[in-house]
Structure 1
Amino acid sequence: MADVTRKRILAVLEPVLAEAGYDLEELKVSQAGRRTLVRVLVDRDAGVDLDAIASVSRVLSKALDKSEADDGPFATNSYTLEVSSPGVDRPLTLPRHWRRNVGRLVSVRLSDATVTARIHAADDENVELELSDGTRRVAYGDLGPGRVQLEFSRSASKERQE
């Protein structure tokens, strides 16, 4: 039953998100008492701020409400919608994740070692990493999931204060 509901929700949300220029990163559907809890993670190349989350939330809510009239997934019960963006701790597993993080420092498994490197470039097949001993182009199939490393620098904090 839950899988059927999830598929019906996906059928409503995916086209709306695609039209708005967002990628659906994750959809979780669970019961919370009598209500269905719908958790949606969205992202896009330009990033996602709070205004974007609010806008997407309104659009998705409207689409789900409209689907109710058409015997949609919530025609007979109510739902709670939570929309957010994947956090910085989300693993980089797809080419678009790597592209969106060009310039950032990541920790990633290469061959038999975990390394820290800066993402120099990324395309659909490979990522170019700046390692301590030079730049290396690696196919995604040869990588483990990457993790963005938070960087705190004096110059970045000075820029924010000005």
Structure 2
Amino acid sequence: MDFKTEISRLLNEFLLTRTDLFLVDLKISASSDVIVILDGDNGVTLQDCLDASRAIEFNMDREIHDFSLQVMSAGLSEPLESPRQFKKNIGREIEVMLNDSSEIEGELLTVDEEKIVLKLEYRRPKLIGKGKEDVVEEKEIPYSEIKKALVVIKF
């Protein structure tokens, strides 16, 4: 079994024991630097990262294949990619860059397997008369139209 396949197998075996965690990304460089990025329905603790690291490290023979290993949680700067990641961020403000390069920012209301729904709040010129009016609307966005989505960090 090749190195990448073995790392993937060990990681998947670990994740089967921890159904609250899921893989965001697995990167293996040509020089055998392994980077595992995890996320979880209730977040990822340091202990979760240690457990995943041990599941890989203790089952690989460094005499056969030397490697470095980093296991980390998906940070706030990481884009949201899977429906599971979107679900854990319901109620938060997210910024979505669409495939046409336009951007939308709003509160994430609902998520399913095909789309997300954002609550948009903005001001626009009144349809009749002068001045502006507040508008609140919901917008459905299919995953196929999303180029990148990030949680908006507010201080």
Q: TM-score, normalised by structure 1?
A: 0.73
Q: How does 1:1-162 map to 2 (within 5 A)?
A: 4-21=2-19, 22-30=21-29, 32=31, 36-62=32-58, 64-65=59-60, 68=61, 74=62, 76-110=64-98, 112=100, 113-132=102-121, 133-152=136-155
Counterpart secondary structure, 1:146: strand
Count of residues in correspondence between the two structures: 138
Whole-Å separation in 2 of the counterparts to 1:80 and 1:144: 31
Deviation at 1:38, TM superposition (A): 1.5
Structure 1 residue runs without a partner (length 5+): 69-73, 153-162
Counterpart secondary structure, 2:147: coil
Structure 2 residue runs without a partner (length 5+): 122-135
Deviations 1:43-100 (A, max 9, x none): 12111022322232223323x33xx4xxxxx551322221101111111222122112
From the superposition, tell whether residues 77 and 60 of structure 1 become closer, same or farther in structure 2 (CA, over 3 Å).
Answer: closer
Amino acid at match of 1:104: R
How large is the Cα RMSD of the aligned pairs? 2.1
Deviation at 1:137, TM superposition (A): 2.4
Q: Which moved more, 1:82-91 or 1:11-20?
A: 11-20
Whole-Å separation in 2 of the counterparts to 1:143 and 1:82: 29
Amino acid at match of 2:25: E
From the superposition, tell whether residues 46 and 127 of structure 1 become closer, same or farther in structure 2 (CA, over 3 Å).
Answer: same
2:39–2:85 Cα contact (<8 Å) kept: no
Amino acid at match of 1:50: L
Counterpart secondary structure, 2:148: coil
2:10–2:55 Cα contact (<8 Å) kept: no
From the superposition, tell whether residues 107 and 81 of structure 1 become closer, same or farther in structure 2 (CA, over 3 Å).
Answer: same
Counterpart secondary structure, 1:58: helix
Whole-Å separation in 2 of the counterparts to 1:143 and 1:37: 30
Hey, which bits of structure 1, 4+ residues long, moved more than 6 A?
none
From the superposition, tell whether residues 81 and 141 of structure 1 become closer, same or farther in structure 2 (CA, over 3 Å).
Answer: same
Deviation at 1:7, TM superposition (A): 2.4
Q: TM-score, normalised by structure 2?
A: 0.76
2:26–2:37 Cα contact (<8 Å) kept: yes
From the superposition, tell whether residues 29 and 111 of structure 1 become closer, same or farther in structure 2 (CA, over 3 Å).
Answer: closer
Amino acid at match of 1:151: K
